[in-house]
Each structure stands twice: as C-alpha cells, then as structure tokens.
Amino acid sequence: MNTARPIPADPDATVDNLVEAAFDYPPQQQRLFLENRCRNQPKILAQCLALLGLDEVDSVLCSNLDVEYAHETRGGIAALTDRYQLGGVVARGGSSKVYYARCRATNQPVALKLLKAGPAHVSWRQHFLREQNLLARLDHPNVVRFHDAGQLPGGQLYVATEFIAGDSLLHHCDRHQLDLLQRLRLFRKLCAAVGDLHQQRLIHLDLKPDNILVTPEGRIKLIDFGLAQLNPYHSDWIHGQPSMLTCEYAAPELLGGEGFNHQSDIYALGVVLYELLCGIHPFEGVSTYDLVHKRREQAVLAPSTSLKLLRINEKGRARLRGLTKARRMQGIPVGEWIAPDLDAVVLRAMHPNHEERFSDTKQLSQAVLRHLLGFTTPKRGNRLWQRTLAWLRRFDLVA
C-alpha cells in the first residue's frame, strides 16, 4: 500500500502553492501531505483543507460531493467530475454555492458556481443565465475570466470562472492592516474598475465587499454579475423583487423599484468606502424591512461620527481597539481619523437622490485623490506633523 513520504515543513509556502502541490498526490494522501508541510501553521493548514474539501470529512477528493447538491438533481455535480477535479466549498449564497475545482483539460484552478435547484430558486435562473452571458462577453483585467458554463442532466445550471487566490476587499485590508491612505488608494483602483464597466454600458448592481476580491498582487477583481444590466436597461426586471438585492448596499431607487442607472453603483461604492474608512456599516442594526421600505427616511451618520459613538460603552471601545489595530492608527485620537472632506465624499456618494451623487466614478475617485494629495484642510489645525503628512502625500503617488 502506498503511503505519502515524510515531507519537511515549509514556513514560506503559500496557500495557493500548497493546494496546487497537493493535487499531485492521490486524494487519500493529500491530507497527510498538507499536515507535513504545514506543521506549526494551523491557519494555513485549515485554509488548504477547506479549499480541498478535506476540512469536514476524510474522503476521496473527487467523491467529496455535497450531499445536498447531489440529491437536488439526478445527475448532481458528479456529472462534472469528468471535466473537473472537485474540491471543497469556498463560498455559499442564498441561491448558489461555489466550489474550488481544477480543470482536467487545462490543469487550471477554477471557481465552479452552481445554482441551487428546486422551485424556490426558479426566479434566479434568469439572473444566473445573465451572468453566464455577460461573463462570456467581458474581457477585462478587473473582471473574473469566464471559463465554461452549462446545465447538468437534472437541469442545474453552472458556470466556471478563474479562481481568484485572494480575499474579499475588507478582509484583505484588515488582514494586511492597511492604513487609511492605503485603503483609499485601493478604493481608487475599485473606482477605475467599475468606471471601465460603466463605459462599456454595464451596471453591476450588486457591488459589495464580498463581490470585490483583491489578488495577492493588489489587483481588484469583480465577481457575481447575476444582477448586472447592459444598456438599454430594463427597470422592470427588479420591481417587486428586493429579495434579489443585497439591501445593505442597494441604492434607494433600486429598493423602491424606481429604475436605476450607473449612479446606483456610485451609491454602493459609497457604502463600501464608509466601511473601508471606519469598519462600521452605515445601516448597522437596521432591520431588512426598514432598509427596503424606509431607506430614504433614514439619516446616514458621517463615518467619523459612527467612530466617535463607539466610545460610549465598553463593547464599543473594545471594537474600536480592533479597528485601531487593523488600520494602524495607534496614537491618533479617533476624532482625527477621518477628515471632514472624506465624510463629505462618503455622504455625497450615498445621497438618497441619485442626481445629487457624484456624476461618475471618475469624479468620485478625483474627490478621494484631492484628499490623498492634501489639498483640503481638515479640522486638525496646522500642526507640523499634519503639514509634513500633506507634503509626503504629494510624493506618494496614488494609482
């Protein structure tokens, strides 16, 4: 009986490289290989096992099929094993599930997204098909690349795209402890990516941190185009179906079924910027009902105000300590984290009336750039360190 050879631990190995190397071993030996290579690195081991579907059950990789999915259709995802070597589940949504897989023909890793079957998910089929068609037509460095799509024997739809070995936007920023300056530069990359889509007459309509990935090289990758619309837009497709939207990021006109345009994406970008700056969602604690039916009536606190309110109780202060560490803001009073001009940028992007928002992503990005270059005067006063920071910003060229 063959057994895996002892392999020395590799402290410099990355998750992506380890998973790729594990595929070279028989499925029954992959866990042992990873345990040998990830000694004293439990977090990396856990990520590798999850990607390969070995975190919950000890079973052969290609037979590690989700039980729920296998019973939803007669063929199940087992019908794809002739083309893909299937790994573990990497993402779950209300209507779909995403697997890590490897294309047998090209040997490339892919993300395999399957739409759940059953009457409860019939309304999502048109959006899933829209995503397939859009991805097949799009060729953009900031959009996940299309690989394959089709239908399983039992009627279940699937789409395969390039696998992005990266984190969602907020996780990337927090894991790498990016300061506010670095977060703003990354946000400008996001604005550029969304702006390119708008120039191609495409509106995403589901921009949120989980649909914005960041590669290890720092490149933005947009995913999940199930709600996206190409010009000419059809405003009636979403009327009366707010459940298809991510209400926490959807613009008021979308939630009200009033139609939409590219400024609906501007609103979502404003919410994302809010979270990047202060680590708090602007509608935290608001019920879904109020989000959908009372959005225009809800006052949005400035990001700096939300941060200051955390100082009221011990729970908030504990959270603030975590935000401070994640943004490397130790020693800077919380009231000085976010300048008034940045507050104004966020609130304008999130204005309930789309005509009052930034006209496009370029204008939004330029407003952020003005802050990065120190062209505005925050409340901090004319302290020497502030002047020095503004001077350095001019030479720290932003993307």
Same domain, 9 and 92: no
**Tokens (6 digits) for 244:** 């298809």
Predicted local confidence at residue 193, as pLDDT: 95
Q: Which of 375, 369, 305, 291 is nearest to 335 (CA)?
A: 305
Burial of 398 (0-12, 13-18, 19+ CB in 10 A): middle
Predicted local confidence at residue 41, as pLDDT: 79
At residue 151's C-alpha, the angle toward residues 19 and 126, to 5°, is: 105
Does residue 25 contact residue 2 with C-beta atoms inside 8 Å? no
CATH number at residue 305: 1.10.510.10
Lowest mean pLDDT among 52-61, 75-84, 249-258: 52-61
Same domain, 9 and 132: no
Predicted local confidence at residue 23, as pLDDT: 72
pLDDT tier at 3 (50, 70, 90 boundaries)? very low
Same domain, 79 and 187: no
* Range picked from 17-26, 164-173, 184-193, 228-237 for highest mean pLDDT: 184-193
pLDDT tier at 8 (50, 70, 90 boundaries)? very low
pTM of the predicted structure, to 2 decimals: 0.75
pLDDT tier at 389 (50, 70, 90 boundaries)? low
pLDDT tens-digit series, residues 84-137? 888 877 777 767 788 888 888 988 889 998 876 654 455 566 667 777 777 877
Lowest mean pLDDT among 98-107, 181-190, 372-381: 372-381
Q: What percent of the chain has pLDDT over 70?
A: 75
Which amino acid belongs to residue 165? A
Lowest mean pLDDT among 264-273, 316-325, 379-388: 379-388
Total domains, the chain: 3
Residue at which a domain ends, from 119, 134, 163? 163
Same domain, 145 and 203: no
At residue 136's C-alpha, the angle toward residues 130 and 139, to 5°, is: 120
Does residue 248 contact residue 295 with C-beta atoms inside 8 Å? no
pLDDT tier at 392 (50, 70, 90 boundaries)? low
pLDDT tier at 241 (50, 70, 90 boundaries)? low
Residue at which a domain ends, from 163, 185, 216? 163
Question: Which one has a higher pLDDT value, 316 or 376?
Answer: 316
Same domain, 306 and 342: yes
What domain range includes position 10?
A: 1-57
pLDDT tens-digit series, residues 71-99? 443 346 677 888 888 887 777 776 778 88
pLDDT tier at 28 (50, 70, 90 boundaries)? low
Same domain, 106 and 249: no
CATH number at residue 94: 3.30.200.20
Predicted local confidence at residue 397, as pLDDT: 44
Same domain, 256 and 298: yes
Q: Is the pLDDT of residue 382 over 70?
A: no
Q: Which of 62, 121, 55, 123 is nearest to 87 (CA)?
A: 62
Predicted local confidence at residue 254, as pLDDT: 87
Same domain, 224 and 365: yes
Same domain, 351 and 232: yes
Q: For all residues of the chain together, what is the average pLDDT?
A: 79
Residues that are catalytic: 206
Same domain, 387 and 316: yes
- What is the rounded average pLDDT of the residues 142-171? 86
Same domain, 238 and 334: yes
Predicted local confidence at residue 378, as pLDDT: 39
Q: Which of 44, 332, 365 is nearest to 323 (CA)?
A: 332
Q: What percent of the chain has pLDDT over 90?
A: 33
pLDDT tier at 384 (50, 70, 90 boundaries)? low
pLDDT tier at 347 (50, 70, 90 boundaries)? very high
Same domain, 270 and 372: yes
pLDDT tier at 54 (50, 70, 90 boundaries)? low
* Range picked from 35-39, 70-74, 190-194 for highest mean pLDDT: 190-194
